[in-house]
Amino acid sequence: MPDDTNPEPLGPVTMLATPIRLDFDFTPGVAQSRFLRGLERGVFMGQRCAVCGKVYVPSRGSCPTDGVPTTEDVELANVGTITTYCVVNVPFAGQSIEIPYICAQVLLDGANLSFMGLIQEIPTDQIRMGMRVEAVWVDPDELTPSLASVKYFRPIDEPDADYETYKEYL
């Protein structure tokens, strides 16, 4: 970058700043808005398919299997099961969490769809499939309609879930 504050003669231009930026508006839609508004209240909201009975969280507003709108709102438990996980040891630009950390798929009790969460309060070498966890939320006055309302998941004092209970969700 040329330094145009320097009163000395400037050297030749060798670098060019070429930032790129995309400003965009995002509307998550009605179904996902319910999920996000649930996060603002500190609860996980899903929707149940009237045909197959599966509960999706977050719901896209329709059942991908049956092709029907999901209209029944379901409040899910604050606890769930780790189905799969990954220990992140590799630093990368923009990383906001101290490595190593655990990224896991969490299947909330009552849900038929897992989603990704950060696992904390456990050494990374003790993480395992089937581990029971609970969501830890930000302080009530910091809740927003965003997944940032969930600080992380942490282990709870319960026996691991039986593999049979979550093998469909791997």
* Interacting residue ranges for other proteins, rule: CB under 8 A: 1-2, 4, 10, 12-30, 32-34, 36-37, 145
* Cβ nearer to other proteins, comparing 110 with 145: 145
The tokens describing 67, both together, are 């092709």
For the bound state, the minimum distance from the C-beta of residue 1 to other proteins, rounded and expressed in Å, comes to: 7
- CA 153 to chain centroid, in Å, comes to 10
Taking the least distance from each CB to other proteins, the nearer of 1 and 157 is 1
Determine contact, residues 127/116, Cβ cutoff 8 Å.
Answer: no
Tell me how far, at minimum, the Cβ of 76 lies from other proteins, in Å.
Answer: 18
Q: Which is nearer to other proteins, 30 or 90 (CB)?
A: 30
Specify the DSSP element, H or E, that contains 136.
strand 132-137
**Between 116 and 148, CB nearer to other proteins:** 148
Q: How far is the CB of 86 from other proteins (least distance, A)?
A: 24
Three-state DSSP class for 76?
strand
**Distance of closest approach, residue 59 Cβ to other proteins, in angstroms:** 12
Order of strands across the sheet with 72-76?
55-56, 44-48, 72-76
Locus of tokens 């590799």:
90
